[in-house]
Amino acid sequence: MRAAVTRGIGQAFEIADVTLSPPEGREVLVEVRASGLCHSDITVAQKGMGVPMPIVLGHEIAGVVKAVGPLVTRIKIGDHVVAAALQPCGQCPACLRGNLNACSNPGALDRDASASECRLHDDCGCLGQLQGLGGFAEQALIHENQLVSIDKAMPFPQASIIGCAVVTGCGAVFNAAKVAPGQSVVVFGCGGVGLNAIQAAKLAGATRIIGVDIQQAKLDLATKFGATDVIDSSAANPVDAVRAATGGAGVDHAFVMIGVPAVAESAMAVLGFGGTAYLIGGMSPGAELKLLPSPMDSALLPLQQGVRGLWLGSSNFYHDIPLYVDLYMRGMLNLDDLVSQTIKLEDINEAYETLEHGGVARSVITFPAAD
C-alpha cells in the first residue's frame, strides 16, 4: 500500500510503498477513506517534538474495518469508524470514570505484548505510527480502544475531522468550560479547532462570541460559524478590542488555540469577573508564560479568574464522537464548511503549504474504496 512517510525533521513527505502486518490481539485493520491534515502533524514533521523517525503521521482518520485481531470485541468487520487521537488504557481510575483524556497510562495498549515489534515497514526498515494511528496511508493498524463505530450515512471527509478538530474545539466549550446561555466567549485563532469552538459556543447559547485572528479569510469563516464580532489582531490591539466589544466587562471564557505565550497573556487580560482562559494550542518546549506580575497584586484573586490547560477537549470520545456525528446528521453542526478541499495523497506537501499560509480551514486526503 502507499503512505506518506516522514523520514526526518524538516523533510518533505515522501510517498512510498509500505507493508502493514495483519492484525493481532486487539488490533483493527482500517481501510482509510479520509484523513485530515492537522497542524500538529506538520509541527512534528518540521520540529520533531521528540517523536522518533521515520514515521507515518496523520491522526484524523475515518474508514472501514477490513479485518480484526482475535481478541477484538467492540469493533466489527464492515464498521465505519473514526479514530481518536488518544490511546486510553481502559484500566486506570480515570478511564474507568469515563475521563479518557486523563488516562494515566496513555499508549499502553498501542500494541499488544503478543504483537510483533514492527507492524509497519518499508524497504528501509520499520516505520512508526504517530499516536498509534498513521493515517497518511491507505490502511492503518489501530488498537480497538482508539476507534469508535459511527453511522454509515456519515460522509468520510467530515467524519475524519471529528476525531481531533471537532472533539477538541467543541469539547472545550461543552465539556470543560460548560458555556451557558447568555455568556460571552472569545476565541483566539480561527482555524479548524477555533471554528468548532465558535459554533459550539453558538449551540450552547452564548450571546457574545468574538473571533480573533490575523487572516481575513479565517475571520470571514468565524462569522459564518457564529461569531458575533471579529477582530483582526494584526490591525488592532486584541485586548482593547475585546474590552470594547464587551463594554469593558470582559468575557466569561477565553479559548486560546495558538501556542504563543503573548496570545495566552492577552486571553487572561480580557477576562471578566469569574472568567477562565483555556489553553489549547501547544507551546514550544521552553516557552515562558507570564500571567501574573505577582500572586497577590493582580486581579486574579479578587476577580476569581483562572487559567486551565486542556487536552482533546476533555472528551470521552466513546460518547462525544457519536454525539457530533448525530449533530451533523441533524444539521446542527457545520462540518461541510470545515472541509475546504479534498486532495489525493500525493498532494500532501502542497496542501500543507496552503495550510501554513492560512488558505484553508481543513484539507482532507480522500482514498477510493479498495476493490
Give the tens place of pLDDT for each residue, 270-296: 999 999 999 998 776 677 777 665 444
Q: What is the pLDDT of residues 313-327, one digit of tens each?
A: 999 999 999 999 999
3 state SS of 306: strand
Please state the φ and ψ torsions of residue 226, each to the nearest 5 degrees: 125, 0
Asked if 364 contacts 36 with a C-beta cutoff of 8 angstroms, the reply is: yes
Q: How far, in Å, CA of 313 to CA of 255, rounded?
A: 11
pLDDT of 195 over the 60 cut:
yes
pTM value is 0.92
Q: Residue 117 has what pLDDT?
A: 66
Asked if 56 contacts 132 with a C-beta cutoff of 8 angstroms, the reply is: no
**Burial call 198-228: b when 16+ CB within 10 Å, e when fewer:** bbbbbbbebebbbbbbbbeebbebbeebbbb
2-149+338-366 against 169-311: fold identical: no
Q: Using pLDDT thresholds of 50, 70 and 90, give the confidence band for residue 54.
A: very high
Average pLDDT over residues 5-28: 95
Could you tell me which CATH class the domain 169-311 is placed in?
Answer: alpha beta
pLDDT of 114 over the 70 cut:
no
Cell numbers representing residue 2 in the block: 502507499
- Which of 117, 11, 5 lies closest to 57 in space, CA to CA? 5
Q: Residue 90 has what pLDDT?
A: 86
- Residues 6+ positions from 220 with CB-CB distance below 8 Å: none
**Topology classification of domain 2-149+338-366:** Quinone Oxidoreductase; Chain A, domain 1 (3.90.180)
Q: Residue 299 has what pLDDT?
A: 62
Q: What is the pLDDT of residues 136-192, one digit of tens each?
A: 999 999 999 999 999 999 999 999 999 999 999 999 999 999 999 999 999 999 999
Q: Residue 272 has what pLDDT?
A: 95
**Residue ranges covered by each domain of the chain:** 2-149+338-366, 169-311
Q: How far, in Å, CA of 116 to CA of 23, rounded?
A: 10
- Which of 115, 134, 137 lies closest to 55 in space, CA to CA? 134
Q: Residue 134 has what pLDDT?
A: 93
* Of 206 and 355, the one with more pLDDT: 206
